[in-house]
Amino acid sequence: MGASDDARLRREAMRFLTIRTNDGLDSITRKELLDFTFDGNMFRLVDPTRGIRKPEELSSALSIMTTYRAKGSKRPYEDELGGDGFLRYKWSGTKPEATDNKGLRAAMAQQVPLIWFYGVGASRFHPIYPVYVVDEEPDKHQFVVAIDAARDLLRPDSPVEETLRRYRVAETKRRLHQPVFRATVMRAYETRCAVCALGHGSLLDAAHIIPDGHESGIASVRNGLALCKIHHAAYDVRILGIRPDYVVEIREDLLAEIDGPMLEHGLKERHGERLMVVPQKSSEQPDQELLEISYREFRSAG
């Protein structure tokens, strides 16, 4: 496959993912990925058994994958966001000349765009693209990966490096953490609002129980709630609170207020009722300690 076909394959793969994930709002299953075709033939976007997909037809890697980690279990490799704002992706094994590692090294040399399939459930992924391999850390057996917006900001000797680092961290969280968090929460809550069970994904948000900036905030499904936009807004401004026993409360002054049907049926009728949707797995249910912190703030705002 020539360079032009290589570029066309990558563009078509990313276009396919954009359509199938509703422009990044939804995750995609391993089975659904098999629907991708190139020039009329099924073409695998992920390797069935390995984290790095380097097709025989291409001279460099096409995609990388981070498997989902359930609470209490470990991934085969720990891929992470470095303090410099760039992502780290572990080698396949420890041998630099392993075929998969050579494939990613070739992608770095050619500066071709890759797709990162980040696990948000068993055989379910949130794709992040395009990403680029921009450096390698052989002593740590890992590659340095940048999202598109940060790929040209690897400037360790720059006098404004600290400003660049803060930008990279913020941008990477926006492009990686937030979508992955959303996809994980939506999967756990089966794309339904925890408060009212509304099931339209485009009207739902993944809300943090404790905000990202809070010292107790954690990037975990247990720090998340699937909420429709009205209940998310009400939760954030302390009109709606959720007790650690999963019971909803509405601020007292709102309970005495007379207004239209949204206040009456969308908010006041939920007062004293339990959450309508909670993840089936106890390991994914809202953390009661985090709910307690948030509920205390709700009570103090009343």
The DSSP-derived string for 23-41 is TTTS-EEHHHHTT-EETTE
Do residues 158 and 17 both lie within one domain?
A: yes
Range of 112-126, 174-188, 212-226, 245-259 with top mean pLDDT: 112-126
Any idea which of 10-14, 49-53, 251-255 has the lowest mean pLDDT? Answer: 251-255
* Amino acid occupying residue 296: R
E strands along 85-141, which residues?
87-90, 114-121, 124-137
Same domain? For 93 and 204 the reply is no
pTM: 0.80
| Domain co-membership, 157 together with 203 | no
Q: Do both 156 and 296 map to the same domain?
A: no
pLDDT given for residue 154 in this prediction: 56
11, 128: one domain: yes
Specify if 25 maps to a domain: yes
Cβ(224)–Cβ(185) under 8 Å? yes
The answer on 137 and 14 residing in a single domain is: yes
Whether 184 maps to a domain, the answer reads no
Query: What mean pLDDT do residues 108-117 have?
Result: 95
What is the rounded average pLDDT of the residues 174-198?
Answer: 91
Q: By the 8 A CB rule, do 147 and 131 touch?
A: yes
- Answer yes or no: is 8 within a domain: yes
Instruction: Say whether 115 sits in a helix, a strand or coil.
Output: strand
Reply yes or no on whether the pLDDT at 54 is more than 60: yes
Domain boundary among 127, 162, 197: 162
Q: Measured between alpha carbons, how far is residue 181 from residues 104, 111, 206, 220 in Å?
A: 26, 28, 7, 7
Q: Please say if the pLDDT value at position 273 is more than 90.
A: yes
Of all residues in the chain, the percent with pLDDT exceeding 90 is 62
Instruction: Please tell me the predicted confidence (pLDDT) of residue 212.
Output: 66
Is the separation of the CB atoms in 275 and 250 below 8 Å?
no
Q: How confident is the model at residue 150 (pLDDT cuts 50, 70, 90)?
A: low
CATH number of the structural domain spanning residue 94:
2.30.280
Which one has a higher pLDDT value, 172 or 33?
33
| Per-residue confidence (pLDDT) for residue 214, from 0 to 100 | 47
Give dist(CA 290, CA 130) in Å, integer.
34
Q: Which residues contact 296 (CB under 8 A, 6 or more apart)?
A: none
Mean confidence (pLDDT) of the chain? 87
Residue-wise over 116-153: b if at least 16 C-beta within 10 A, else e? Answer: bbbbbbeebbbbbbbbbbbebeeeebbbbbbbeebbeb
Return the minimum-mean-pLDDT range out of 70-74, 160-164, 223-227.
Answer: 70-74
pLDDT reading at 196 higher than 80: yes
Residue 183 covered by a domain: no
- Mean pLDDT, range 245-250, rounded to an integer: 96
Would you place residue 78 in the very low, low, confident or very high pLDDT band (cuts 50, 70, 90)?
low
Task: Tally the domains of the chain.
Answer: 2
Query: Is residue 39 pLDDT above 80, yes or no?
Result: yes
d(CA 132, CA 235): 37
Same domain, yes or no, for 7 and 141? yes
What per-residue confidence (pLDDT) applies to 261?
80
For residue 269, tell me if it sits in a domain.
yes
Closest CA to 103 of 143, 44, 148: 143
Find the domain containing 35 and state its range.
Answer: 3-162
- Which long-range contacts does 183-187 make (Cβ < 8 Å, 24+ apart)? 183/26, 183/27, 183/120, 183/124, 183/126, 184/120, 184/121, 184/126, 184/221, 184/224, 185/221, 185/224, 185/225, 185/226, 186/26, 186/27, 186/226, 187/27, 187/120, 187/121, 187/124
